[in-house]
Amino acid sequence: MTMEPDDAAQSLSEIAAVERRTRQTLVYGRSSVFFILWGVLLVFGYTFGFAFPEFERRGWFAVFAVGFASAALLGYRRPRLPGRAGWDQPMLFGQLVLYAYGWIILAIVGPLAPRQANAFWPNVFMLGFALAGLWLGRFFLLLGLSVSALTLIGYFWSGPWFGLWMAVVGGGGLIAGGLWLRRLG
């Protein structure tokens, strides 16, 4: 049996498409646990800040500390993806870089009021998701833009319920996104 060059090119194109879809599915599946982790932590952080505003700042430091420690543990305990060695490490370091840049921006623009901070930090991380989505899959882009849009809506129109709004939209959005990614991956 022999093949024509056009058929060979068609086969290679099919292979490339399946490989791309498979890698994306693997990335979706592996990142789902990070989404769920941060979603749960955000629900806790916003609810805690809403209930105990005087301890909100300390609560957020605890949330970030637990989040980064857990993400590091998850990232290092899981086997690496072939052809994408250390995917979980860039994901972890990406989160740390976003966190660092958040503080750099705050050092320039000055301290924020609690309400502003509650809108600022989700947008920093959603910017990361949206940018990652340009390479890793549209789902990340959609999630980042959606949560940012809902954060802005809550910031301007949710009144005194902004903390709870963010618990549902920010934390709940990440949990829902993570569960959806788990289905895909």
Partner 1 sequence: MAGPNEIIHQSMRLKIMAALNVLGPGAALEFTTLRGLIGATDGNLGAHLDTLAGAGYVAIEKRFVGRKPQTRIKATAAGRRAFTEHVAYLREIIDVERT
Query: Which residues of this protein are in contact with partner 1, per CB under 8 A?
Result: 1-5, 8-9, 11-12, 14-15, 18-19, 21-23, 25-26, 79-83, 185
Reduce the DSSP state of residue 118 to 3 states and report it. helix
Closest approach of partner 1 to the CB of residue 24, in Å:
9
Q: How far is CA 24 from the centre of its chain?
A: 15
Q: Pick the closer one to partner 1 by CB: 133 or 185.
A: 185
Task: Count CB-CB contacts under 10 A for residue 34.
Answer: 21
Closest approach of partner 1 to the CB of residue 16, in Å:
8
The amino acid present at 72, given as its one-letter code, is A
Q: Pick the closer one to partner 1 by CB: 25 or 158.
A: 25
Closest approach of partner 1 to the CB of residue 101, in Å:
32
Q: Which residues have a Cβ under 8 Å from the Cβ of 23 and sit 6 or more positions away?
A: 81, 83, 84
User: In angstroms, rounded to a whole number, what is the distance separating the alpha carbons of residues 46 and 44?
Assistant: 6
Q: Pick the closer one to partner 1 by CB: 6 or 54.
A: 6
Asked if 30 contacts 87 with a C-beta cutoff of 8 angstroms, the reply is yes
Closest approach of partner 1 to the CB of residue 58, in Å:
40
Closest approach of partner 1 to the CB of residue 15, in Å:
4
Q: Pick the closer one to partner 1 by CB: 54 or 183.
A: 183
Q: Pick the closer one to partner 1 by CB: 11 or 116.
A: 11
Candidates 153, 155, 133; CA nearest to 144 is 133
